[in-house]
Each structure stands twice: as structure tokens, then as C-alpha cells.
Structure 1
Amino acid sequence: MAEDTASARKPAHIPFHRAWLVALVACLTIVAAAAFAAMPGLLTEPLHTEYAWSRGSIGAAASVNMVVYGLIAPFAAALMDRFGIRRVALVALATIVAGAGLTTVMTAAWQLTLYWGLLIGAGTGSLAMTFAATVTDNWFVERRGLVIGTLTGASAFGQLVFLPALAWIVDHQGWRPAIATLALTAGVMTVLTALVLRDHPADLGRRPYGATAFVEKPEADQGAARRTLRVLYSSVTSRGFWLLGGTFAVCGATTNGILWTHFVPAAQDQGMAVTVAAALVSTVGVFSLVGTVLSGWLTDRVDPRALLVVYYAGRGVLLALLPALLGPEAGAAMTAFVVVFGLLDVATVPPTIMLCHRAFGADGAIVFGWVNAVHQVGAGTMAVFGGLTRDLTGGYGPVWLLAAALCGVAALLALRIGRGGGNGAEESEEDREDEGARV
């Protein structure tokens, strides 16, 4: 009897697997969504000038965006299990386009919080690391590390690609054309997603890349959202969760919360051109990608806690030096700052993911989703604090010094992760050797 099932056939030797096209579209989608994260720093001065809104109220909208971005991610993963990657991505992109379009016609500060903070925060948060992880898990058996590394690094790359161009548009054409450009980009990605992205290779009768047998599409997980909440409930009783969350909150406060949101206006206060300041932030984005890849390589070989201590301590030193480095020109010292800060910027992610896995086992990915939500809360809090400090003191000096001090606290907390029993108990040497063998 002839075998006509996909599972009975050997993998076809074709030069290009559909999984790579799906990964490419997913990567472009993440890039487009990430570009919105760079925009608040460019909006602060134009909105303050046009509407006379306080920088605190503008920072509040950025804060809501960051918090919603973080909180939506664990549930977005559950929704993808329930309704599929493609549907969730399309709804997220449509939400982003709607939020961006409404932002261009807003007339009150609360509308900025609603449109940019809530709508765009929910849309971009749904297309973050959980989106990258789900696409990779469904479509790849081989090359998963390469794909997940590329997709997660696409976020920093998105800011790299768009920020200088957006800064030029804001400087020469105004802030509304810049947002319209982002909305158009998201609209294009909506079309590409509808045409190319699929939930699972089985939808097309294909195997995942590298699979030796046909893989059936998993049944929709009706209880995924409940599991997400159950994991949260169980993990918050662990000291390990709060140590991981506390360090990662400082990570968010000292990257998204202050550097991505307030560096450009702080540089403008010192007489630096907005396009130059935006180019410096983009340089941070370039080296963030390099730093993340290098950090992932080190995490397989060095105690992740030690890496976090070095990363946070180094970041603290840099932030303490920043007030003395800011000026009208981007000299060699400032260039060195952005290069080194970029290398440390997202480097905290691989060791934090590894520590979540070691402490919480099979629930480690979901726990990291919640730890990442705490990261965004820290980012949002610092975004508001930075704006209020600028309104009250006329400068950002105290903000940089507070951020440096928080990094010192995070370095000390990192030393205690995995010590003291509970879910955060330090793994045995035998467990570590087993994990090294698996790697």
C-alpha cells in the first residue's frame, strides 16, 4: 500500500525551508514593533513645546506603555497557544496601528496615556520575547538557539534602524510624520504577516525545520492563562523570584526607563543636536546585540550570578560618570560610554533566563515572563521619576546618580540569588554538570 502521509516520507532536501521565511517575517515584525520603544525620547520636547504638557505627564504615558508591555507578555503567550500565533500577531499589529494613528490627532495628555501607553504598549508587548519563543518552538527543531537569539536581538536592532531616521523626521518635519511613518511600517507588516505567517508547519503539511518526522499541531491549550496565573501565585512565595525580579527591575529602570526615554532630552539640555543624540542611542542598540550574543556564550560557561554582578556594577559606574560626559559634542569619551553601555545593556537577559530555569524548572519560561513584567514596572517607574525630576530641578543629574546607586544594589542582590533554600536554592554540582552535558 502506498504511503501518503507526511510522517512516512523522508525529509525533502530542498534549498529553502518555509520556516526561514516565517522566521524572517517574525523578525521584521519584532523590528517594527521595537521601533516604537525608541519614540518616547524623541516626543518629550516636541510635545512639551506644542502642548505645554509637563515632562512628568509625558513620562507617565511612557511608563504606562512599559508596564503594559511587560504585563501583557505572559498572557500573549497563552493567547498564542489558544488562538494561534498568526491571529494574535495580526490583532497586535492592528492595535499598534490604531494607537499610532490616534496619537497623531490627540489633544490632551490623558489621550497620550491611552493611545501610546495602553494600545501601543499592549500591541508591542504581544510581539516581544514570548512571540519570538513561540515562533521558534513551533517551526524549528534544529537551529533553535540561532533563531531565538536573532529574534530577541531584533528588538535592539529595530531601535537601531529607525531611531536616526525618526530623529531626522522629528527635527525637520515634526513629530506627527514620524509617528505616521511607524504606523505605515506596522501596516505593511500586517499585510506580510497575513500572507506569510502560519501557526505551525502542520498547517501547511510540513515538518518543522530539522525534524525527522511529521509533527502534529498541538491542541489548543484551554487552560494556558490559568497556568500562567498559577505559576505567578506559586513563584511569588519564593525569595528567589523576588531577587530575580528586583535585579531585573533595576535593569529596566536603568535601560528602558532612563536611557531609552530620557537620554535624548537630557543630551538636548546640554546643547547636543537631537540627531546626534539619537545616533548615540542607536549605537547602544548595535552593541546591545553584540553584548547579548556574547553574554549568552558566557552564560553557558560562567556562573550567571557572577555575570549579573559584573554587568550591574559596570552599568552603575557608567551611569555615575554620565553627567560629566554629557555635552554639546559627542566626543571620544561619550562614544566609549555608548559602546560599553551597549555591551551591558541587554546582557543581563541570558543569565536571568538561565537562573529562572535553574530555580523553577519547567515553569522557568513563564516565571521569566513575570520577572520581565517586573522589569517593565521598574522601567515605567524610572520613566515617570525622570520626567518629574526634570520638571522640578531643571536637569537630570540626580536621576543618573540614583540609577547608578540602584545598579549597586542590584549587584549585591545578584550575589544572593540561588542561596538560601526554597525554589531559589543553589543547584548542585551534579545538576550543573548534567546541564552542561545537555548544552
Structure 2
Amino acid sequence: MTTTQTQQSVPLRSGRRPHRAWGVAAVTFVTIIGAAAFASLPGLLIEPLHDEFDWSRGTIGFAVSVNLALYGVTAPFAAALMDRFGIRRVVAAALVVISAGSLLTVWMSAAWQLVLCWGVLVGLGSGAMALAFAATVTNRWFVARRGLVTGLLTAAGASGQLVFLPLLAWIVEEHQWRPAAVTVAVAAVAVVPFVWLFLRDHPADVGVAPYGASEFVAKPAPVAGAARRAVTVLVRAARTGPFWLLAGTFAICGASTNGLVKTHFVPAAHDHGMPVPAAASLLAVIGVFDVVGTIASGWFTDRFEARRLLAGYYALRGISLLFLPILLAPSVHPPMVFFVVFYGLDWVATVPPTIALCREHYGDDSAIVFGWVLASHQVGAAVVAFLGGLARDVFGDYDVVWYAAGALCAVAALMSLVIRRGALVTR
């Protein structure tokens, strides 16, 4: 059947029936929620592992940093693998690897085993479940409403954090950390059948055009040489200024979110006398408002200039982090609630405009380019996850890390404004 014939065979939609793309987006949203348990646990493990094995917080932070770094480095290759083998196969395999890595930590007795299981295995698996997954789904299934969908799928991770973090904190507090690790393993593997049955790789698989497209789009042939393509796209993008500015700002984004707050907020609050479940609940509330902020950011990205949105987001985040050291206390009080709401609205609001800028400058390669930009995000997160634990060991508190993160966010705001506007390109 020719492309023209295929286009003519696609029935007109009634307008009352939701487009199949929204169903795929819903499946992706639930999949990311189910896999989000692994991202909720590291900050809860620092004190239990320190107490049981007498490992330094720097050592534990190093394992988390390996996890975060591999999460990022794997993302662009995962995006290329999705072009080669399909989204469904790659995501299902990644969930199995996450489950195995989390489950194996139950039997560890040495720090290198933590690095191997939680750092390497969970890091590799989670990298394939990274935001490049959301970018790939959005690029394939949507032409219109891409900013909104990106915001929704990005918010899925925060929703998963909301679901799992209080539960995992309670399990760690009442039953120690091993049952919590098993819970993560079960949650990851439970999503696999859901992915396999309901996720589809491309609109052409079900005979529809992408949402907002005026014509049917044929499914492209599998792209061989996934690793080579990922590296080729990197080399091409690295010759352009916007790539380095996006990578630099996103590295600071990772440093000030996953590396710092997600990893060290709970132990920092506990240092000030706050119970672990209360601190974990605050982190979960950040996830609640992150959902609102990220969806709103996607809506804004469809309507306003992305680089100016980024500059505003980073500036506001930096200001909030500068105030955090004076807000930490043994109990939850109104100023801390205000910080949680304010910071939560900004948590990953940077993702929709960053993806939009990748799409604007790099066209069909944008998912892979964003994968490399995400790699810088995770490297930034990895560095601060390690340095944050090291600073706690050396100085006895986290204050210097909060102030440094605030200053870095100011730098990111300035870098965002330097990114030039570009015309959408395709290759």
C-alpha cells in the first residue's frame, strides 16, 4: 500500500472520540508513575545504611551519584535504541533491570555492592526510563499540544514520588530499609505487563495520524546502529552554541533538584530534629506542586518564549534555596510550607521549555539531543549528590551546599537568556 493510499484509508475523526495519542500518553504517564519508586528511595537510605554498615555519607552519596550519572548517560542511547527496537521493548527491559538491581540490594554486605546494584543496575535501567522516553513519545504521537503533553509526562515522575515516598518512608521507619527495596522491585516489575499490552511505538501501528497532524505519517524503518547514531548526533550538536548552554543550565537543574533536594533534603531535615516520615512527606508535597507547576510550564511553553521561561524558573529556584537553611526546624511551620509549595512549583518546570528548545534547534534529532542534555543534568546531580554527603561529613551540616546551589541557579538564569532563538529544523 502506498503512502497516498494509506493516507486516504485513515478515517476522519468525529471529534467526540479522544485521539489514540491521548491513550498512549496516559499509558506512558502510568508507566512513569509505576517506575518512580526507585527515584524516591535514595534519600531515605542514607541514614539507615550509615547506621547499619557504618558507611560514610560520602560513600553512600557516591553510589547515588553513580546511579544519577548512568541515568543521564544512558538516556541518549536509550532514545536511539527506541528508534531501533521500539519504545515498548526498551521500556519493558529497563523495568526488569531496575527491579533486579533494587532486589539484589537486600543481600548486600559491602559498599561496592551498593554501587553495583543501586548505582549501576538501577542507574542503567532508570536511564532508559528517563525524560528522553517522554520526549520520544511526545515527538512521535503529537504535533499539537507538545508542551502540554511534555509537562504532563514530566509530572508523572512527581506523581510517582507522591505515591511512593510517604509509603517508603513509613516502611523504612517501621520495618527497616530492606522491605522498602523489595517494594521498589515489585513496583517496577508490576508495570511490565501494562507496558507490553497497551503501549504502542508509533501512530502508524494503529492506523492514525499523530495528534494535530493534517496527514498520516508512515512509520519510519528501524534505525540500525543505535550507539553510532547517538554519538553522531552528539558530535553534530556539540558544534553548536545552544547545545552547551542547554547542557550547562540543565546540569545546574540536576544539581539543585535530584542531586541536592531529592537526595539530601530528608537527612538535612532530620539533622534539625525533624522525624524522617515528616521530612519525606514534605518532599512528597513538593511532588504534588511539581505536578501543577510542570503542567502549567508545558502550557506556558506552548505560548511564551522558552528561554525567558527558563531564566525565570532558575532565578526563582535559586532564591528559594538561599532561604532554606534558616527554615529547617524540628517541626513543620508555615514558612517551611511556603518553601515546599514555592519550590515544588519550580521543581521540573524547566523540562518543557528545555525540550522545546531542543526541538526548535535540532528537529528530528531533538529526542537524542535532549538525551545528551539530560545526561548533563544527571552528571550535575551526581556531583552534588556526592559533594553534598561529603560536605555533611566535613562541615557537620548542609548549609554551604544550599548556598552554593542558589548561586548556581543565578548563573543558569543568565545562561538561559543567552540562548539564541532558532528555527525548527528537520533532518
Name which of structure 1's ranges 305-314 and 284-293 shifts more when overlaid on structure 2.
305-314
Q: 1:28 Cα shift?
A: 1.7
Alignment of 1:270-281 (within 5 A): 270-281=272-283
Q: 1:34 Cα shift?
A: 2.0
Q: 1:204 Cα shift?
A: 5.3
Alignment of 1:276-315 (within 5 A): 276-315=278-317
Alignment of 1:4-403 (within 5 A): 8=9, 10-11=11-12, 19-139=21-141, 144-203=146-205, 216-403=218-405
Q: Distance in 1 between matches of 2:211 and 2:241?
A: 39
Mark the CA change 1:211 to 1:352 in structure 2 (over 3 Å): closer, same or farther: closer
Q: Which runs of 5+ in 2 are unaligned?
A: none
CA contact (8 A) 2:147 2:302 kept: no
CA contact (8 A) 2:324 2:402 kept: yes
2:311 corresponds to which letter in structure 1?
V
1:264 corresponds to which letter in structure 2?
V
CA contact (8 A) 1:8 1:213 kept: no
CA contact (8 A) 2:35 2:191 kept: no
Name which of structure 1's ranges 345-354 and 209-218 shifts more when overlaid on structure 2.
209-218
2:403 corresponds to which letter in structure 1?
L
Q: Distance in 2 between matches of 1:362 and 1:200?
A: 15
Q: 1:182 Cα shift?
A: 1.4
Mark the CA change 1:371 to 1:215 in structure 2 (over 3 Å): closer, same or farther: closer
Q: Per-residue displacement from partner, 1:343-400 (whole Å, max 9, x unpaired)? A: 1111222232333344445544432221111111000000000011111122111111
1:198 corresponds to which letter in structure 2?
R
CA contact (8 A) 2:135 2:355 kept: no
Q: Per-residue displacement from partner, 1:87-111 (whole Å, max 9, x unpaired)? A: 1112111101110110111111111
CA contact (8 A) 1:6 1:205 kept: no
Q: 1:202 Cα shift?
A: 4.5
Mark the CA change 1:327 to 1:78 in structure 2 (over 3 Å): closer, same or farther: same
Q: Distance in 2 between matches of 1:208 and 1:195?
A: 20
Mark the CA change 1:151 to 1:39 in structure 2 (over 3 Å): closer, same or farther: same
TM-score by length of 2: 0.90
1:180 corresponds to which letter in structure 2?
V
CA contact (8 A) 1:32 1:182 kept: no
Name which of structure 1's ranges 296-305 and 136-145 shifts more when overlaid on structure 2.
136-145
Q: Distance in 1 between matches of 2:408 and 2:300?
A: 24
Q: Distance in 1 between matches of 2:10 and 2:366?
A: 36
Q: Which residue of 2 aligns with 1:422?
A: none
SS at match of 1:104: helix
TM-score by length of 1: 0.88
Name which of structure 1's ranges 239-248 and 359-368 shifts more when overlaid on structure 2.
359-368
Q: Which runs of 5+ in 1 are unaligned?
A: 419-425
CA contact (8 A) 2:154 2:351 kept: no
Q: Distance in 2 between matches of 1:305 and 1:147?
A: 19
Mark the CA change 1:358 to 1:24 in structure 2 (over 3 Å): closer, same or farther: closer
The root-mean-square deviation of aligned C-alpha atoms, in Å, is: 2.6
Q: Give the fraction of aligned pairs with identical amino acids, expressed as a percent.
A: 57
Name which of structure 1's ranges 294-303 and 190-199 shifts more when overlaid on structure 2.
294-303
Q: Per-residue displacement from partner, 1:273-297 (whole Å, max 9, x unpaired)? A: 1111011111111111211222233
Mark the CA change 1:12 to 1:414 in structure 2 (over 3 Å): closer, same or farther: closer
Name which of structure 1's ranges 22-31 and 394-403 shifts more when overlaid on structure 2.
22-31
Q: Distance in 1 between matches of 2:408 and 2:326?
A: 19
Larger radius of gyration: 1
Name which of structure 1's ranges 241-250 and 318-327 shifts more when overlaid on structure 2.
241-250
Aligned length: 420
Q: Distance in 2 between matches of 1:285 and 1:412?
A: 26
Name which of structure 1's ranges 238-247 and 138-147 shifts more when overlaid on structure 2.
138-147
Q: Per-residue displacement from partner, 1:189-216 (whole Å, max 9, x unpaired)? A: 1122233333335445666667777654
CA contact (8 A) 1:313 1:408 kept: yes
